[in-house]
Structure 1
Amino acid sequence: MLQGVENIYEIDTTKQILDRASALVKVNYGSNQQSDVLLRVIADHARTSAMLIGDGVTPGNEGRGYVLRRMMRRTIRNMRLLGSHDPIMSELITASIGAMGSQYPELKTDSKRILSVCIAEEETFLQTLKSGTQIFDTASMQIKKAKGNVLPGEDAFKLHDTYGFPFDLTLEMAQEQGLQVDEIGFRRLMSEQKDRAKADSRAKKSGHADVTEYRKIADAVGRTEFVGYDHNEAETLISAIVADGLSVADASAGDEVELILTRTPFYAEGGGQLADGGFIILGNGARVEIDDVQTPVPGISIHRGRVMNGSVELGSSALAQIDIERRRAISRAHTATHMVHKAFREVLGETATQAGSENSPGRFRFDFPATGAVPQSSLDEVEARVNTLLLEDFEVTAAVMSQTEAKKIGAMALFGEKYGDEVRVVSVGEWAKELCGGTHVSRVGQLGVVKLLGESSIGAGVRRVEALVGVDAYRFLVREHVLLNSLTEIIKGARTEELPERISDLVAKMRDIEKELALVRSAQALAQAGSLAQNFKNIAGFSVLSEQLTDGIDGDDLRAIALDLRNRKPDSIVALISVNDGRPILVVAVSDSSREKGMKAGALVKTGSTILGGGGGGKDDFAQGGGTRPELCTSALEAIVTAIAVK
């Protein structure tokens, strides 16, 4: 109202984005109601996408990441409907930052990252759109040909599940084609898929047992008290025994069992931390070795293991003892994960938030959103930052407080995790504070050393860093040191810091020598052509030469020899083989006059390569192939000659 326009899409900020979209597709806003609606959606979604990415959201398949992905993809789709088939998100996001930047200066500051995120997502979606559209078009043609008007739910599900094609786009495209979509069938298949995924997740925790059995136990015996933060062992009672998915009264030596205790020091797998291992020792001397602990239903921990000796009876008193060395190694890894997480956010920015982790004895992995590979310099900076802080030997503390209090002290919560009214905050000194239910060391100096092994992509927009900590990191560094010493022994006179340059020089020299050898081999190979020219035979009116040459001649040199020989005779057909590194290479060259009589190099190569256990192809005048069976070279050449003879 203040700006004298009829809707929010025409106010000064949004209108800038709308005008840019209009210019890109060369469609005037206000000329057509249908195109106006599309342009308004584009402007709104582009603006919101810029804001979300600026807030640290990255496109994904869950939660707010999925909302962002859908908005970006609908923007791209609408631009295509208006006639733009080129990448356009960078233009629209730039316009959005220009429109909103004065009010939200962080958009301008972080514009490079925002643009890189949107460009990467657009590239992924355009490929998805290309393949999905082709499949949809084929399906719609078949439906119309059969006089139908409904796209089956199975086809919509396949587009979504196999090719990542958004269902809402399938609905829009179907409507454009005058088709309906079997939404009920699609949602039924989606529901079945989700049920399978949930069943797989439950199976991990319940050992494929029906969780109703655990619910009955929880209702009957109450919650398991976890005392593992402060104790490595605890006196307890066996409140339930499960074998083969059913509650039983006892178990004997050799039985695989699941024990539920009244109180336990065993940490159940969760929050990226692997479960504790150890023993449960009964008063009668029976021992149960525990190798996994899970929480199939809230409130109870099931201790999976094997009865080593004696018998286990319901209600028996027992002593639960964790494997202390395993716990300590896992705790070191978990504390190291917190420190690496904080350091990555310092180096890469606040958007490098944890998207998954696994803390196992002596090693951990850490996943976080990123639009591309992390430079080695950034990895080195993170590693140096963490190891420098280890020397500070910060105290690691844990405190339970309300969510409000946790936010006040700056504790970080992981998006997607579920927290209660009260949360446990783990603090590494005053440097890093994070909501966490896992186990940790008491001081960071106990980590010893942290070594990042490297990083890699595990999916669109998600990177994974793997690292070692403590003794495992030390052993890795020792192996590296031994390797360096070995190299300095091999490369006499080189100091450790000179090794990269010396090795690079040696590699360069080897490449030069290989090039010289290749020239010599090529000259020797071409020299063979003169003597080989005497071996042409007349077969079915063609001048045919089929020979196995000496080993070690590569494909380029074989080609040169074959073409030289082909040009020496009219109506010529040349087939040559050489074995290189145990693999035969076959080339066939056919003269113009022989091709006019129906001979094709590609067909002849296919005949020989099939016998050699491989394949090949090319043009009618020249083709190349090969295989894996050098002992059949003679047979391959004979087959080619036979094919020529019977033509």
Structure 2
Amino acid sequence: MKTHEIRERFTQHFVSRGHEAVPSASLILDDPNLLFVNAGMVPFKPYFLGQQNPPFPNGTATSIQKCVRTLDIEEVGITTRHNTFFQMAGNFSFGQYFKEGAITHAWELLTNSVADGGLGLDPQRLWVTVYLDDDEAADIWHEKIGVPRERIQRLGMEDNYWSMGVPGPCGPCSEIYYDRGPEYGADGGPIADDNRYMEIWNLVFMQNERGEGTGKGNFEILGPLPKKNIDTGMGVERVACLLQGVDNVYETDLLRPVIDTAQELTGARYGEGAPDEDNIRFRVIADHSRTGMMLILDGVTPSNEGRGYILRRLLRRIIRSAKLLGATGATMERFMNTIMDTMTPSYPEIAQNRERILRVALNEEKAFLKTLESGTRLFDEAVEEIKAHSRAKTAKVLSGEKAFELHDTYGFPIDLTLEMASEAGLEVDMEGFDAAMGEQRRRAKADNQAKKHGHADLSLYREWVDEHPTVFTGYEELRSDARVIGLVRDGQKVSEVAEGEEVEVILDQSPLYAESGGQVADRGRLVAGETLLEVNDVQKIGKKLWVHKATVTAGGVDLGHTVSAEVDQQWRHGAVQAHSATHLIHAALRQVLGPTAVQAGSLNRPGYLRFDFNYTEQLTPQQLQEIAAITNQAVDANFAVNTIETSLDEAKAMGAMALFGENYGSQVRVVEMGGPFSIELCGGTHVGSTAQIGPVSVLGESSVGSGARRIEAYSGLEAFRYFSKETALIEGVSRELKVQTEDLPGRIAAMAEKLRAAEKEIETLRKAQLMAKSAEFLGGATQVNGFRVLTVRLPKGTSGGDLRTLATDLRNRAKDEATVIILAAQAGDKLPFIVAATDLAIARGVKSGDIVKRYGEVVDGKGGGKPDMAQGSGSRPEAAEQGFEALKTYLETL
């Protein structure tokens, strides 16, 4: 049975039993505790935590959620069931059915015949586990379902008790296992061998509330929940593995084609008889290709932090594994195309994003292949240094510190380092490497814990979210009479506030826009007689409740009072100009760059906008000019701006663009400008027609990370001011140079060329003067332990290139003696320095790299190089002479 069919059967099974089918949320959600959605229940957390009432009429739902877990990336391919990306099929009950319902639903799907819509698993091969004292679940499994007592096993907190890791709902769980047979391990159920007995479904019975604590079991159970909930998860990949009769989750219909492609590209073979390390690499390629593709699909781009770092790491592990298997060139395009083919039936949106996914992945491959090049050079230098300093009979070892530097600083994978070290006849100090890696992980974990915070206590607002959501009137008017239905001061509900206090005000309706979708919140005021509250921010809670953060500047206000809520009209005018201009720039961008340029974030405040988009190449000046021209042409065309309330499916049929990471309800708002010119899902406020935006001045574009670019622009009056300032500047330069403005580029280019020629001539003369002093410098050399030693501190401003040129010349002039040359020159607050040694000096044991390191210790710097020449830089120029003397003392010991 194909994976796509398993998904369909699961969904249909629960829909036919009254559950509402909920589409998978994006892998990226606005959750402070998660990089990615890592469990099927994550999108439902507000309902389980009691922050919102579930919006499902029957109180039940089902979904097949995209998930990514990356804590154990190194385990991928080693175990038979570990994927970084997986699909969690789940059914959820919010105060409706409980243990018996959940158990019955799961059993029927698993064991009903294929003809009856089930999955057709043999019930005699199913085992279950329950929590230690959960007699209720054990009795249901035995008495209602008919599972023999000997196939029901009990496990403790670590295995069969669930919580979110923070105070909130918790409860025992029951897991369903499939016995794969004696060829996979020992008899005795899941307790005896969890490889033979594969877990395929976990049923969580949320019945208690947990308190503070750490770990899986170190917390207090405070008591029962008011309503009992169900959260279950069936592993789609694991069930596919069983139904397709393959040994592991990497050989199912979704991933096996990638392994086949990898065999073709590398010449290596996968499966029985192949080395274990090769089989693991094939599985890594298959797993990471899918995870990387799905992350890019949901808007992640490679970078050095957060989500982007995880994606970069996954893609680089693919490239590394293919190289270790024997690939000699680029492989990413084939891997990505293969996995997109297998996944598109379940995720049709892949087809529309295929070109963008390829662009991101291929650019990362290109960059990493260059990294491998530079890492290889550093590795070769380290090997040369080790061999030069090691005695013939002594084991040659690459230090753990150097291996970690290659890994951490240069992105050089440790297993590639191990392979290359073996080829070079070296060992790697893995104990030292593991210690350095462990220290880094401890620092990262500590940093993550410092940043991580539990869920904000939104239960304070639940009453209003559920019973009195704010009616937003700001699309139609800028002033509304409203009733004060809530006051919060310092995290506590209050009934009144007085002058001078900071307060959160909740109104039954409001014209003030709450920050969302990149558009900043409205500024405004709440007025009632002599009372005045200045509103400086408006935030949403649960997408339903507007919280006005205000300062009471006059009078006071009580619960139940009626106030006039007024938007600062000038602020709103500037904000809608910028927000509407963002839509036009997005449309212009896609006209110029094509559909692979997709919005990745924005900020709109009065008069200013920035627009981030996924694109891997720097825009040319011509492209930027074209984007600006198309945008302003749309302004000049005075397109009507229409808004349409419709269903999500209808909006997509209209061609409306949706943004990555956004979760839309069943009803959405479509903003259309100029018919097909721009049509997007957007809940923001906008101008009535594009001419109201005024001029748009595109300031430029820049990189904000690998595969991500940013355009910045002014709109309306701010754009006019910018144009005026630029015009005045150009006119001033024209007057100064006494040319017409249209002739400025030519005149400036000619002046710049003259300046470059003059600077080049000065540089040539300066170098000639420096070289002319070579003989004078050599005359100042001293004798130290049979070495001719030349130490020179050169004038300020001497560059590193000058040092190398002079050192080369001096070494050539002194080649007939054992000469050591040490040059230093102050450049700002730094001290660049260089060491050169003649062949005769090297024969006596001098290594320029060693001398550079010793000099660096004195001047607080570091450097490196080869025996004949090495250079570095220090941060204590005042210690230059002290360093010279230290090196002379060192040479006395040779």
TM class by shorter-chain length?
Answer: 0.7 to 0.9
| CA 628–78 in structure 1, closer or farther in 2 if over 3 Å, else same | closer
Query: Is residue 2:363 matched to residue 1:88?
Result: no
- What RMSD, in angstroms, separates the aligned Cα atoms of the two structures? 5.3
Aligned to 1:359: 604
Asked if structure 1 preserves the Cα contact closer than 8 Å seen for 2:301 and 2:708, the reply is no
- Between the aligned partners of 2:289 and 2:773, the Cα distance in structure 1 is 70
- Between the aligned partners of 1:234 and 1:379, the Cα distance in structure 2 is 42
Aligned to 2:720: 474
Query: Is residue 2:304 matched to residue 1:24?
Result: no
- Between the aligned partners of 1:281 and 1:465, the Cα distance in structure 2 is 39
Query: Is residue 2:552 matched to residue 1:307?
Result: yes
Asked if structure 2 preserves the Cα contact closer than 8 Å seen for 1:214 and 1:297, the reply is no
C-alpha deviations, 1:66-110, integer Å up to 9, x for none? 9x99998998798668643642233567899999xxxxxxx9999
Query: Is residue 2:474 matched to residue 1:224?
Result: no
C-alpha displacement at 1:512, in angstroms? Answer: 2.5
C-alpha deviations, 1:539-585, integer Å up to 9, x for none? 45444443434444444444555555564584444444444456544
The one-letter amino acid paired with 1:334 is H
C-alpha displacement at 1:43, in angstroms? Answer: 13
C-alpha displacement at 1:121, in angstroms? Answer: 5.0
Aligned to 1:484: 730
SS in 1 for 2:861: coil
Aligned to 1:120: 363
Asked if structure 1 preserves the Cα contact closer than 8 Å seen for 2:299 and 2:660, the reply is no
The one-letter amino acid paired with 2:460 is E
Query: Is residue 2:462 matched to residue 1:215?
Result: yes
Asked if structure 2 preserves the Cα contact closer than 8 Å seen for 1:395 and 1:429, the reply is yes
- Between the aligned partners of 1:81 and 1:557, the Cα distance in structure 2 is 42
C-alpha deviations, 1:493-536, integer Å up to 9, x for none? 3x333333433333333333223222222222232233344434
SS in 1 for 2:773: helix
Asked if structure 2 preserves the Cα contact closer than 8 Å seen for 1:393 and 1:445, the reply is yes
Asked if structure 1 preserves the Cα contact closer than 8 Å seen for 2:699 and 2:712, the reply is yes
| CA 601–84 in structure 1, closer or farther in 2 if over 3 Å, else same | closer
- Between the aligned partners of 1:366 and 1:112, the Cα distance in structure 2 is 21
**Aligned ranges 1:284-299 → 2 under 5 Å:** 285-299=530-544
- Between the aligned partners of 1:620 and 1:17, the Cα distance in structure 2 is 47
Query: Is residue 2:523 matched to residue 1:277?
Result: yes
**Aligned ranges 1:458-607 → 2 under 5 Å:** 458-493=704-739, 495-562=740-807, 567-568=813-814, 570-580=817-827, 583-607=830-854
SS in 2 for 1:498: helix
Asked if structure 2 preserves the Cα contact closer than 8 Å seen for 1:59 and 1:121, the reply is no
- Between the aligned partners of 1:315 and 1:88, the Cα distance in structure 2 is 66
| CA 497–97 in structure 1, closer or farther in 2 if over 3 Å, else same | farther
Aligned to 1:382: 627
**Aligned ranges 1:115-514 → 2 under 5 Å:** 116-120=359-363, 122-123=365-366, 134=414, 196=452, 199=455, 210-219=457-466, 222-283=468-529, 285-403=530-648, 405-407=650-652, 409-430=654-675, 431-493=677-739, 495-514=740-759
- Between the aligned partners of 2:356 and 2:625, the Cα distance in structure 1 is 21
| CA 198–326 in structure 1, closer or farther in 2 if over 3 Å, else same | farther
| CA 611–219 in structure 1, closer or farther in 2 if over 3 Å, else same | same
Asked if structure 1 preserves the Cα contact closer than 8 Å seen for 2:642 and 2:671, the reply is yes
The one-letter amino acid paired with 1:134 is I
Aligned to 1:102: none
Unaligned 5+ residue runs, structure 2?
Answer: 1-243, 246-254, 303-307, 343-349, 373-405, 419-426
C-alpha deviations, 1:390-414, integer Å up to 9, x for none? 1121222323234455455444443
| CA 371–254 in structure 1, closer or farther in 2 if over 3 Å, else same | same
C-alpha displacement at 1:452, in angstroms? Answer: 2.1
The one-letter amino acid paired with 1:359 is N
| CA 340–639 in structure 1, closer or farther in 2 if over 3 Å, else same | same
SS in 2 for 1:394: coil
C-alpha displacement at 1:384, in angstroms? Answer: 0.8
C-alpha displacement at 1:360, in angstroms? Answer: 1.4
- Between the aligned partners of 2:836 and 2:312, the Cα distance in structure 1 is 53
Size of the alignment, in residue pairs?
582
- Between the aligned partners of 1:82 and 1:604, the Cα distance in structure 2 is 41
- Between the aligned partners of 2:629 and 2:501, the Cα distance in structure 1 is 49
- Between the aligned partners of 2:324 and 2:803, the Cα distance in structure 1 is 52
The one-letter amino acid paired with 1:482 is A
User: Under a length normalisation based on structure 2, what TM-score does the superposition of the two structures give?
Assistant: 0.54
User: Under a length normalisation based on structure 1, what TM-score does the superposition of the two structures give?
Assistant: 0.72
Aligned to 2:16: none
C-alpha deviations, 1:440-499, integer Å up to 9, x for none? 111211111112222333344333322221122222222322332233234343x33333
- Between the aligned partners of 2:364 and 2:802, the Cα distance in structure 1 is 45
| CA 586–452 in structure 1, closer or farther in 2 if over 3 Å, else same | same
Q: Which moved more, 1:558-567 or 1:427-436?
A: 558-567
C-alpha displacement at 1:266, in angstroms? Answer: 1.0
Taking only the aligned residue pairs, the percentage that are identical comes to: 36
- Between the aligned partners of 1:441 and 1:69, the Cα distance in structure 2 is 40
SS in 1 for 2:692: helix
Unaligned 5+ residue runs, structure 1?
Answer: 1-5, 8-13, 100-106, 146-150, 163-188, 203-209
SS in 2 for 1:87: coil
- Between the aligned partners of 2:865 and 2:282, the Cα distance in structure 1 is 52
Higher helix fraction (1 or 2):
1
Asked if structure 2 preserves the Cα contact closer than 8 Å seen for 1:576 and 1:587, the reply is yes
The one-letter amino acid paired with 2:712 is E
The one-letter amino acid paired with 1:318 is V
| CA 197–418 in structure 1, closer or farther in 2 if over 3 Å, else same | farther
C-alpha displacement at 1:437, in angstroms? Answer: 1.4
